[in-house]
Each structure stands twice: as C-alpha cells, then as structure tokens.
Amino acid sequence: MNGLELATPLALALLPAPLLLRALRGRAAGGGLPVPETIRHRLGAGAASGGLRFSWRVIVSALAWIGIVLALAGPRVAGAVAALPATGRDIMLALDLSGSMTKTDFEIDGVAASRLAVLKHFGAELIRRRAGDRIGLVVFAETAFAAAPLSFDLRAVSATLEEMEIGLVGRSTAIGEGLGLALKRLSDSAAPSRLVILLSDGANNAGVSEPGAVAELARDMGVKIFTIGLGVSDTLANPDDTDAVDFVALQRIAEIGGGAAFRARTGAELDAATRAIEGLIAGPTPAPPTIVYRELWIYPGAVAFLAAMALALATRERR
C-alpha cells in the first residue's frame, strides 16, 4: 500500500487567494480610491495598465505561496509495514504471596530454594516466552494487589514479578480476592482470548469472595482459568497440614472456568505445568498491518522559505 496523498486536501482551496485579493483590490482602485505610488509599486500593480507583470518577483512570490499552501495540505506517502507480533490474547497472572511461600521445600538447579524463589524463576520465564501476548500481574495473600497492568512490555512485567516480596499484601490466602481482581483487570479488555493463570500453595482462608462464585463470573465473561497447585503436600493427602495446597478447590475453579488444573511438587513440574498451559492456548492471530506515513511537507515548505528569503534580500538591496 503505497501512494501519495494529502493529509488536509482542503488547504488547496487557498491557492487562488492572492488572485482574488488582487481582483478585489483592483475593483476598489477603479472606484476612485487613491493609492500612494510607493504602495502600488510594492503591491506589484502596473502603473500604466494595472495588469499583472510577470517579473521574477511575481514568480518567486507565487512559488512562496504555492509552497506554503502545499505544506499546509500535508503531502505524504502511505506505506504498510508488518505490525509488531500480537496474538490477540490477554493473560492475567494471579500469584499467591502468602506466608507459606517462604517455605524452602523446592530446588532450582539442585540448590534448595523457597517456593517464592521458584515462582519468580519459572514465572519470569513464562512471561518472557509470551511474546505477542499482553500480560498483567496480580498478587494476593490476605488482600489482592494489581502489581502490573496488561502490557506488551514483558520485560517490565517479569521485572515486577522478581521484585515481589512476602508480606506486601499480608500473609493469609485470599484466592477469591486475587481471582476477582484479575477478572476486573480483564473486564475492559476487547481481546478475543482472555485468560487467568492462578497459582496458589495453600487454601482459601481470607477475603470475602468465594473462589467458586468468582470462577462462575469468569465463565460468564468468557474468561478461561488455569490453575497450578504449588507445594509438596496437598489437603487431600494431608488434611491436617496447614501449609498444604487445596488442589481440589483449584481443580474445581479450573473446571468451572473452562481451563485445566496442574499440580507442581517440584520446580521441574512447575515449568512443565506452565508449558502445558501454553500448549492449550490457541495459536497466534495475525495482527493487521500498521500504516506508516512518510511526511513530505518539508519539501514545499523549504521552497516557500527559500522564496521568501530571496524576496526579503531583494527588498533589503533596493533600500
């Protein structure tokens, strides 16, 4: 898509303005209005006939005016270029920052690590892999906090995740609050595909929002929910473990939300879970091309400037 066009074509209507002004001035002079000789000479009026004399001054003046009008019209060349990669997908990460995330029962490259460290490591990798998606970040514990808005700037979102610390939003686990805030952030999205990836290492024990009810709201909004249960122990196998993950609840949330639930007992399983979720997400949607304009007004503007400078210098020499 290439071609010359004008941003403001109506500006061309100004081209005959000097001729119209000259005609009006000539009519006024014919009515007996006395005009001093010096003014008549500067206006370029012919002393004998009043006709237009095609001297170099007239030509240069015409060039200056034409250049000004063409610059105002905004000539430009339109070209289509490939858009930045975009999938038409908005993803909110809702991540648990409760006190139990400090527990050191995971490993990264054979070195003991806390759940939070493992979350940051593999979560940041997930974000950086999602080129073309808009990613946002919500963290929750006793309350929920929107840490990063939906953005194509994946580096900034992953950096925000790596800065998160336990205690920022309390130490309990309000899964319903975190999921609800993630949905709120997606409510104004016009993306054809919207989803939430919810990760928790505990059970819902804070907040006023019931996770199942929030999942039903997500289903009504057309938002899919994928859940990851992080932790060695779960409430089904160890009901008395206060730090166990309630994977049954996470499965129910994912089922209602039309997604899938994954269990992560190790860092490798967490990595596998994030990659499995990526495999369940629909492929990329081609983005429309971006129209980029090459502005050309500078060229007629330069002609007008040079013509005006020539007239100014000639006037100074005559003085």
pLDDT tens digits, 144-195: 999 999 999 999 999 999 999 888 777 788 999 999 999 999 998 988 899 9
**Which of the 8 DSSP states describes residue 292?**
E
Q: Count the helix, strand and coil residues of the chain and give each as a percent rounded to the nearest 5.
A: 45, 20, 35
Three-class SS state of 46: coil
CB 222 within 8 A of CB 189: no
- C-alpha closest to that of 122 among 230, 251, 250: 230
pLDDT of residue 86: 60
Sorting pLDDT into bands at 50, 70 and 90, what band is 85?
low
pLDDT of residue 253: 96
CA 60, 65, 71, 73: dihedral to nearest 10 degrees? -140
- C-alpha closest to that of 206 among 319, 99, 127: 99
pLDDT of residue 282: 62
Q: Is 95 exposed, middle or buried (0-12, 13-18, 19+ CB in 10 A)?
A: buried
Distance CA 166, CA 303 (A): 65
CB 166 within 8 A of CB 101: yes
Taking only the tens place, the pLDDT of each residue in 33-78 is 454 555 455 555 444 444 444 577 788 888 888 989 989 988 988 7
| Bridge partner list, 92 | 136, 196
Highest mean pLDDT of the ranges 4-18, 73-87, 113-127, 288-302:
113-127
Strands (E), 207-319: 224-230, 261-264, 290-295
pLDDT of residue 319: 58
Amino acid letter, 49: S
Two structure tokens written together for 112: 């003991």
Distance CA 219, CA 56 (A): 76
Structural domains in the chain, sorted by start: 3-80+291-318 (no CATH), 89-280 (3.40.50.410)
pLDDT of residue 51: 44
Distance CA 199, CA 123 (A): 10
Amino acid letter, 2: N
CB 203 within 8 A of CB 235: yes
